Amino acid sequence: MAERKNPFSSRNVEQVLQRLIKNFIRESDQNRRSKLGRGVYWENPLVGFASGADPLFEEYKNIIGSFHFTPREIMENAMKNKRVRFPGSEFEEVSVISWLLHTPEDTRRSNRMEEQFPSKLWAYTKDFGEVCNHALRKYISGYLEDSGYSAVAPVLSSAFRLFRDDKIGWTSNWSERHIAYACGLGTFSLSDGFISPKGIALRIGSVVTTLKLTPSERKYRAYKENCLLFRNQKCGKCIQRCPAGAITEEGHDKDKCWTYMNSDSFKAKYLEQGLQTTPNACGLCQTGTPCEFEIPRTV
């Protein structure tokens, strides 16, 4: 049998990865809203890269907590589980791939019209769109492994944890938003939401690999730079949009947000929409705001 040519032997490895991610979103059946009969969950993926040696990943241990994995730690952990010896030279080469999947206009419009609970399209996108995101995580890590590199999708690894920390509140040990920030894809905001050049209505995925990648440029200096309020502009539209009163000029109260999304009325709405899972979808603060589909313009 002919040996598969290493697709990453060319100089444009970043372009190869971008193409793989974009093609997956364009062609995969997992991105079709088959349960709703039409449309797609995601469009316009944006992809960024970071070196695992970027000092920002160590800084996250102070900003988030010592429990937050660096790319090297998550890779070491994955290799240990696979009982693979991880040579020091490969350790130096660890890189991170992060992607953003943006929500199409029809889903955003449907949620924009809501004032209490998420629209059916938004709720289904949270559940089944994330299944598509998981499939993409598996596809990219599998593709890299088949090409001879080690790879792990951190949120699919057995080490991934989502929990409530005494100091920082609801958190995880692999925060996709902080990873996307490191990969130059956008910044945080008043509502905590991550704003990319294509807006805040998105979901994020990432993979860590031993394939060496050129880091993307971070074109921002402050971690909330894409949010109007942090550019000394009036806004706070997300404060008005939140039905739980979880957002104030001081920021986002994660406990209020969590409690609202796990309330009985929220669960009842989910069941009415034909969903059985734990809700955790709302996103009213991500629609009907000036940051919904772009970096809000300064006036």
Q: Please state, in angstroms and rounded to a whole number, the distance separating the CA atoms of residues 274 and 37.
A: 14
Is residue 236 within the footprint of ligand SF4 (CB under 6 A)? yes
Residues 249 and 236 sit within 8 Å (Cβ to Cβ): yes
Is residue 282 within the footprint of ligand B12 (CB under 6 A)? yes
| β-bridge mates for residue 116, sequence order | none
Least separation in angstroms between CB 128 and ligand SF4? 18
**Candidate segments 63-71, 72-80, 104-112, 245-253, binder of ligand SF4 by CB under 6 A:** 245-253
Residues 64 and 142 sit within 8 Å (Cβ to Cβ): no
The residues, ordered by sequence, that sit 6+ positions from 246 with a Cβ below 8 Å of its Cβ are 252, 253, 254, 256, 257, 260
- Among positions 78, 140, 144, 204, the unique one binding ligand B12 when judged by CB under 6 A: 204
- Among positions 235, 267, 273, 294, the unique one binding ligand SF4 when judged by CB under 6 A: 235
Is residue 181 within the footprint of ligand B12 (CB under 6 A)? yes
Is residue 293 within the footprint of ligand B12 (CB under 6 A)? no
The residues, ordered by sequence, that sit 6+ positions from 221 with a Cβ below 8 Å of its Cβ are none
Is residue 283 within the footprint of ligand B12 (CB under 6 A)? yes
Is residue 25 within the footprint of ligand SF4 (CB under 6 A)? no
Q: Please state, in angstroms and rounded to a whole number, the distance separating the CA atoms of residues 107 and 287.
A: 10
Mapping DSSP to helix (H, G, I), strand (E, B) and coil, where does residue 133 land? helix
| β-bridge mates for residue 202, sequence order | 102
Residue carrying the six token digits 């309020």:
229
**Would you give the binding string for ligand SF4 spanning residues 163-202, x where CB under 6 A is met?**
--------------------------xxx-x---------
Is residue 67 within the footprint of ligand B12 (CB under 6 A)? no
Instruction: List residues binding ligand B12 (CB under 6 A).
Output: 63-64, 126, 155, 162, 168, 170-172, 174-178, 181, 188, 191-194, 200, 202-204, 223, 252, 254, 257-258, 280-283, 285-286
